[in-house]
Amino acid sequence: MSTSQSVTVADSFRRSPEVVAALDAVIQRLESSQASITESRPPVDGGAETLEGWLARSAEARGKGALYPYVGSGIGNGLLVELVDGSVKWDMINGIGVHMFGHSDPGLVRVALESALGDVVMEGNLQYNSESIEFAEFLSQEAAKGSRLRNCFTTNSGAMANESALKVCQQKTNGAPRVIAFQDCFVGRSTTMAQIGDSAAGRVGIPLNVHVDYMPFYDPAMGERSIKMAVWHLDQYLKRYPGQHSCFIFELVQGEGGFRTAPREFFVPLMEMCRERGVPVWDDEVQTFGRNTEMYYYDVLGLGEYVDVLTLGKMSQICACLYTDDFNPKPGLLSGTFIGSSSALQVGHAALRRLRDGGYYGPDGRIAGLQTAFREHANAFVAAHPEWFPPAVDTLGRPITELVAGTGGMCRLTPFGGSREKIMKALHIMFAEGLIAFICGHDPYHIRFLPPVGVMKPAQFGPVFEVLERSFEKVDLAD
C-alpha cells in the first residue's frame, strides 16, 4: 500500500545533491578498500598482541572469556572478514546466520548510512517511523501468499519473538499451561524459552515452572514408522492432558538440534491432529527463515494452511511474530520499548527485497545451487578422507549414514564419529587456519555452516574445503 504525501523536510535533506554525493564517495572508498580482501590470511606483525588486548578487555567487561578469539575490525568482503589483528577469515557462520550478505556489502552499507540520517537511532512500539510499517507490511504480505498469517508484531530478538508467540497462544487457549515441542529443540535463552528448549545446560539453576511435553522428531532410518510413532506420542499427550496445551512448537528444520529435516508427510498428521483437538500450531522459523528455496519454510513443504503463529529472525535483522486474524491478541498483550534500530529495519527490509527479487528462491534458485555445491564438495571430501569420517552413532547405537546433510543455506558435516571433543578441537584449529564455523546437534555432533546466502558463490567452497583439509590434518597430529 502506498501513502501519498508532500515532500517533507526529511525528504529534501536526504535527496540533496550534497548528501547523495557524500554517500557516493563513501561507497566508492569502501569498494576500493575491499579490493585487497580476496582470501584468508594470517595476522599482521603485532596483530596478535592487539587482539589479545581486546580479548582481555572483553573478558574483563563481560566476566568471562570468548569462545573464539573473534574481534572484527569493521570491514570485510562478502564471505571474508578482517579481524583487529589484521587476519582475514572465511566466515561460514555469520553471527549464527545473521549476516546474509556477508561483510561490508556496499548496497547494504549505503542503506545503513542513509538510515543514520534519520532523527532517531531506535524505533519502538509507541513511536516509530514509516520504515517500521513498511517492514511489517513486507513480512505479512510475503507470509500471506501461502498461509493465513496476516498480522505482524516486530521486536528486537528471536527470544522475544518466541515469548510473544507463546503469549498469543496462551491467550487464545485461555491460559493452557502446557507446551508441546520436539526433542533437541532450541527456542532462545529467556527464562521461559530456556525451560522449553531441550538443553539441560541452558537451564541450570533456573526454577522449572513451564510444563513441556517433548515429541520425537523425524527419524529417516525409521521412515513411515517414525511418523506413526510421532502420531501415537501426540495422541497420548493430548489424551493425558485434555485441553491443557497452549501450542505445539514446530521446528520444520531443527537448527541447534543438528540441521535435521523432515518430509511433509511427517508434519501433516501432527498438524491435523492439533487442528482437530484445538492446539495452536506455532512454526518457529527464527533460524530457518529466508535461507531455503522459499522465504518461509512452510511454503517449501506446503504447510501454510496449518500455521496459526510464526516467529522469525536472524537474517531479517529485526525479529517478528506473525499470526492469523483468529489469533490477533487483545490490546496490551504485546508491546515493548524497542522494535530495533532504524538501520536494522531498513537494512533488513532491503536485504529481504533483494533476496525475493534476485533469483535466490525456487528449486533452481541461487540458494538451492549453494546447497548443491556444498554437497558436491563435502561428499568429495568425505570420499577422499574416510579416516576422518568413521561411522557416527545416534543415542540408540545406530550408525548415522548421512554425514553430509542440510537444506538451502544450512549445511552440515559430521566428522570424527560425531565426537564433540574432536569437533570443538577442529573448530578452533579451523579458526586459526582461517575458517569460521560452529557446532550443532547432540550425540552425534556436527560441524555447522551458515554461509552468507546473498553473496557466496558456489566456487568459494573450494578454498573453504582447502582450509578444512589443512585443519583436519592438524587435528590428527594433535591427538
Which strand (E) or helix (H) includes residue 410?
Answer: strand 410-413
Residue 463 corresponds to which cell in the numbers above? Answer: 578454498
pTM of the model: 0.95
b vs e for 396-411, b when ≥16 Cβ sit within 10 Å of the residue's Cβ? eeeebeebbbbbbbbb
Cα 251–chain centre separation: 12
pLDDT in tens, the chain (479 residues): 555 556 899 999 999 999 999 999 999 999 999 999 999 999 999 999 999 999 999 999 999 998 899 999 999 999 999 999 999 999 999 999 999 999 999 999 999 999 999 999 999 999 999 999 999 999 999 999 999 999 999 999 999 999 999 999 999 999 999 999 999 999 999 999 999 999 999 999 999 999 999 999 999 999 999 999 999 999 999 999 999 999 999 999 999 888 999 999 999 999 999 999 999 999 999 999 999 999 999 999 999 999 999 999 999 999 999 999 999 999 999 999 999 999 999 999 999 999 999 999 999 999 999 999 999 999 999 999 999 999 898 888 888 889 999 999 999 999 999 999 999 999 999 999 999 999 999 889 999 999 999 999 999 999 999 999 999 999 976 66
- Its domain, for residue 256, covers 122-357
Q: Quote the DSSP letter at residue 34.
A: H
* Residue 139 belongs to some domain of the structure: yes
> Same domain, yes or no, for 322 and 198?
yes
| Whether residue 322 is found in the same domain as residue 419 | no
380 shares a domain with 337? no
My answer on whether 293 and 395 are in the same domain is no
In a domain, 20, yes or no: no
pLDDT value for 48: 94
Q: Which of 296, 326, 357 is where one domain is finished?
A: 357
Residues 157 and 300 grouped into a single domain: yes
Shared domain check, 351 and 232: yes
Distance between CA atoms of residues 38 and 61, nearest Å: 34
Specify the DSSP element, H or E, that contains 178: strand 178-182
Same-domain check for residues 348 and 441 = no
Buried b (16+ CB within 10 A) or exposed e, 176-199: bebbbbbebbbbbebebbbbbbbb
**Do 340 and 383 share a domain, yes or no?**
no
Say which DSSP state 390 is in. Answer: P
86 inside domain:
no
Can you read off the three cell numbers belonging to residue 294?
Answer: 522459499
Q: Total domain count for the chain?
A: 2
Q: Are residues 304 and 371 in the same domain?
A: no
Indicate whether 381 and 463 sit together in one domain.
yes
pLDDT tens per residue, range 356-411:
999 999 999 999 999 999 999 999 999 999 999 998 988 888 888 899 999 999 99
Q: Do 152 and 230 reside in the same domain of the chain?
A: yes
Q: How far is CA 474 from the centre of its chain?
A: 30
Domain assignment of residue 148, yes or no: yes
Residues 320, 218, single domain; the answer is yes
**CATH code of the domain containing 428:** 3.90.1150.10
- Last residue of a domain, which of 309, 338, 357? 357
Last residue in a domain, options 309, 331, 357: 357
